[in-house]
Amino acid sequence: MENSSTSTPLAPSPTTWSRKSFPVVLSIVAAIGAVFIVMFSTLVYFAYLIATQQLSRHFNPAHLPIRFVIISQIVTYVPLIAYFLAVVPYLAQRSLADLGFRKPRWRDIGTAVAAAVLMCIVVEVTSALLAALTRIHASESAAALLQEVHSTPQKIGFIAIAVVFAPLVEEFAFRVFLYNAIARYSTTTIAAAISGAVFGLVHVIGLPAGSVITIALPLALGGYILAMVYARTGCYWANVITHGLFNAVSVVAVLVFHVSDS
């Protein structure tokens, strides 16, 4: 008989969820609430900048000073992570530990690192193929913005957001919340595909329509891989490691090797 203490647990599946887990209406309301928090916190921050005359009332969001962009990310992430910490366990009817907030084992870390390598390959190859087919060369907004970062403090802030804070928040949002909410009523494959697609689409908000396919589809495939890491390990921190390593490769490519897709 296999010792259950050494087996690899999967994330909660549709067959093990409580009937009260992720009620549809409340889950939709919670998702809308997350969007509202992002919009509200951003508006409050820029209203403060305008009120203190640090920005003009007619500022162009596409040409914001880097320091304001970095701080705006932090201002958004802090209330969002607090919101998810309060809401998701209630919706799931599970503790944070059950949802993957536990110390990763060595096999979880190994899975995370291997997935990060696979994610880099899949995203880059898919991006290259789509660029060749469509003749559209575009960069995700964060990657394009990184090319404009020059001072050391700004580089440190941007790297911290890309490699640490963004993975922490996004893995909570797209895997612990969205993936689980969908998996509650479907299969692992369907939940991974839908959460991955949303993950890809969110990253092209505000970009030109012509670049959506060349960026959203590769990132959607990356999101699918991230969802499968969560399904395999049942460990939130494994996802953070995978996501963080993937972003770190992009940061190194831009800052060290000056790689640009545009």
Q: What is the pTM of this model?
A: 0.88
Whether 195 is in a domain gets the answer: yes
Query: By residue range, what is the domain housing residue 204?
Result: 24-255
Whether 14 is in a domain gets the answer: no
Whether 66 is in a domain gets the answer: yes
Average pLDDT, the chain: 86
Domain count, the chain: 1
pLDDT (0 to 100) of residue 138: 59
Whether 8 is in a domain gets the answer: no
The model's confidence at residue 206, banded by pLDDT at 50, 70 and 90, is confident
Whether 244 is in a domain gets the answer: yes
Whether 125 is in a domain gets the answer: yes
Does position 43 have pLDDT exceeding 70, yes or no?
Answer: yes
Does position 231 have pLDDT exceeding 50, yes or no?
Answer: yes
- Average of pLDDT values for 169-196? 96
pLDDT (0 to 100) of residue 69: 82
Whether 79 is in a domain gets the answer: yes
Name the more confident of 93 and 16. Answer: 93
Q: Which long-range contacts (CB under 8 A, 24 or more apart) does 203-207 make?
A: 203/140, 203/141, 203/142, 204/140, 204/141, 206/61, 206/62, 206/141, 207/138, 207/140, 207/141
Whether 4 is in a domain gets the answer: no
- Average of pLDDT values for 130-134? 83
Counting residues of the chain whose pLDDT is more than 70, the rounded percentage is 84
Does position 132 have pLDDT exceeding 90, yes or no?
Answer: no
pLDDT (0 to 100) of residue 24: 96
- Average of pLDDT values for 133-156? 69
pLDDT (0 to 100) of residue 172: 97
Counting residues of the chain whose pLDDT is more than 90, the rounded percentage is 60
